Amino acid sequence: MAGYKDFAFFYDSLMKNAEYESRFDYIIGLLAENGIGEGILLDMACGTGTLSEMFSKKGFDVVGVDASEEMLSRAQEKKLEKNFDALFLCQKMEELDMFGTIDAAVCTLDSLNHVTDPEALKEIFRRVALFMNDGGVFIFDVNTLFKHRNVLADNTFVYETENVFCVWQNTLLEDNETTLINLDIFDRDEDEEDLYVRYSEEFCERGYELSSLKSMLEEFRFEVVGIYDDMTKAPVKEDSERAVFVCKKHGTQFI
């Protein structure tokens, strides 16, 4: 799973197309439909805390968890700059260890695709269930196998802002499910406009059959109440690039 070191410093500027406000409204709507409008919310793989801030200002008690110290450092800076309340913890998702129970959990922007070992993914689901109250709601999204095989595939993408240039190179591995991703980031020097500093990151993402994810979740008392095409209430299609799972916890998880 990616730790995001140098990339953390450029993450916000390169993620401006993430539609955070629309995504937040969408998730809030899904939570409300399933009886969650307040309480303790876990923002898993919270990154630099953009959604954590939004959930906090909506009235949730937010716990943000991420494996990257660099991402959390930026989240802490943002917390002070924008004056919102959230507890940030540096933990891998498969090592999730909360101080108490939660009412909701959210994991967005294909963060679970970074987990390439199915057993590690099951452990994440187990731990979310362990700390979630009866009737709690777990919402997450994943990039689909279609996206891995047809969009990411062996393609290269370029992102450019005023001061940052990013080359995103993909290699679809032999299993036809896992994509090796190489990021080369060029940051313009503040003093020399024609000089750039290069940073590199490498990580993998894996696509999963949606039916396999559903079976994993059901092992841990999660009822999958909906699987939607991204940012809609429509069913996932053959060419959907991202699927959103809405899951409701039933009973108490002891294992």
Crossing angle for the helix pair 210-219 and 118-131, nearest 10 degrees? 40
Q: Give, in degrees to the nearest 5, the angle at Cα 84 between 89 and 15.
A: 70
40-44 vs 61-66, strand pairing mode: parallel
Instruction: For 20-73, write each residue's pLDDT tens digit.
Output: 999 999 999 999 999 999 999 999 999 999 999 999 999 999 999 999 999 999
Alpha-carbon gap, residue 69 to 67, rounded angstroms: 6
pTM, rounded to two decimals: 0.93
Q: What are the phi and psi torsion angles at 225 (to 5°)?
A: -90, -10
**pLDDT at residue 2 greater than cutoff 90:** no
Q: Yes or no: say if 8 and 68 are a contact pair by the CB < 8 Å rule.
A: yes
Instruction: For 101-143, write each residue's pLDDT tens digit.
Output: 999 999 999 999 999 999 999 999 999 999 999 999 999 999 9
Tokens for 5, please give them.
Answer: 């070191």
Alpha-carbon gap, residue 245 to 242, rounded angstroms: 10
Taking Cα atoms as reference points, which of 139, 161, 144 lies closest to residue 237?
144
Tokens for 58, please give them.
Answer: 């909506």
